[in-house]
Amino acid sequence: MSAPDHIARHGDTTPEPGQLDLSRPSGKRTTKSGCASVFMVVATLLAVIPLVWLLFAAIRRGIGSLFHVSWWTHSMDPSFELAKQGAIHAIVGTLEIGLITSIISVPIALLTAIFLVEYARGTKIAKVISFAVDVLTGVPSIVAALFIFAVVVTTLGGTQSAWASSLALMILMVPTVLRSTEEMLKLVPDSLREASFALGVSKWKTIIKVVLPTSMTGILTGIVLGLARVMGETAPLIVLLQFNTELTVNPSTPNFATLPTVITNAYTQGGVDTPVVWGAAITLIIIVMGLNLIARGISRRYMRRMGK
């Protein structure tokens, strides 16, 4: 009589020697697995519920402003009627400061990450730089703003401007982009580098042609995450800019408007229930979400092209 027939006839679920145990597990391991699953579900809900609540509150209170054409075409110039007040000056200012910050931060972060992973891995200088990056990661935004104010405005005799604000935001963006880029470069298998070296390709060409394309999706994601963080910062803008109600594109002027400063100014004057507060908030959310979708689209198209 075969082992399966014996088990079926006598109801014995004990596996024979060398036979896989396909019965449902029980005991302490099952209990621990169930508790871990419950904790994971609870943690997920704790993360998702506040996010959904925040989006619902912002949309419910601020969506009305977005349906007015004047919101996207007019500024908050006092010469305009109240019904025609808009946020185009703040939208343009936010995008401009984000662009300037990215132009400064991304090359610094990418080159530093490449140096740490490809040239100085395991050396003392890499440990020192990594420690410095860890320290910068935890620096509050107000400290970065005060540092730039002390250096640019007080010491060098400069003025408050979008350039100075971008320098403060750069201090906050570089660690985020650098860390994500460093981790993505480490995930590239060494076999790809060795195969490139075996074909006689130089190190810098290997980095450009093999390492960076392989990790491009993660790098773009890190850049978007870093940009999303700095676009919502308020402290550097309050310290290094003066609020403006008109459209200005000159980054050297101290009078410059952004969505965070519009929110702060409107809240100070009218409270949290002011439509401008929630209109600017949902506009900022849309901009960040749009940047995320653009980055995902670019990365997917790039990966499809690489697959061909």
Q: Is residue 96 part of a domain?
A: yes
- Kindly state whether residue 69 falls inside one of the protein's structural domains: no
pLDDT tens sequence across 183-233: 889 888 888 888 988 888 888 999 998 898 888 888 888 888 888 888 888
pLDDT tops 60 at residue 15:
no
Note whether residue 13 is domain-resident: no
Q: Name the average pLDDT for the chain.
A: 83
In a domain, 242, yes or no: yes
In a domain, residue 43? The reply is no
pLDDT of residue 169: 93
The tally of domains found in the chain comes to 1
- The answer to whether position 1 is within a domain reads no
CATH code of 104's domain: 1.10.3720.10
Residue 292 domain-assigned? yes
Residue 54: what pLDDT? 86
Residue 43 has pLDDT above 90, yes or no: yes
In sequence order, what are the beta bridge partners of 242? 255
> Over the stretch 50-91, which tens digit does the pLDDT of each residue have?
889 888 888 888 888 888 888 888 887 666 665 567 888 889
Mean pLDDT, rounded, for 254-279: 83
Query: Which domain range does residue 168 map to?
Result: 82-307
Domain-embedded: residue 130:
yes
**Secondary structure of the chain in the HEC alphabet?**
CCHHHHHHHHCCCCCCCCCCCCCCCCCHHHHHHHHHHHHHHHHHHHHHHHHHHHHHHHHHHHHHHHCCHHHHHCCCCCCCCHHHCCCHHHHHHHHHHHHHHHHHHHHHHHHHHHHHHHHCCCCHHHHHHHHHHHHHHCCCHHHHHHHHHHHHHHHCCCCCCHHHHHHHHHHHHHHHHHHHHHHHHHHCCHHHHHHHHHCCCCHHHHHHHHHHHHCHHHHHHHHHHHHHHHHCCCHHHHHHCECCCCCCCCCCCCECCCHHHHHHHHHHHHCCCCHHHHHHHHHHHHHHHHHHHHHHHHHHHHHHHHHC
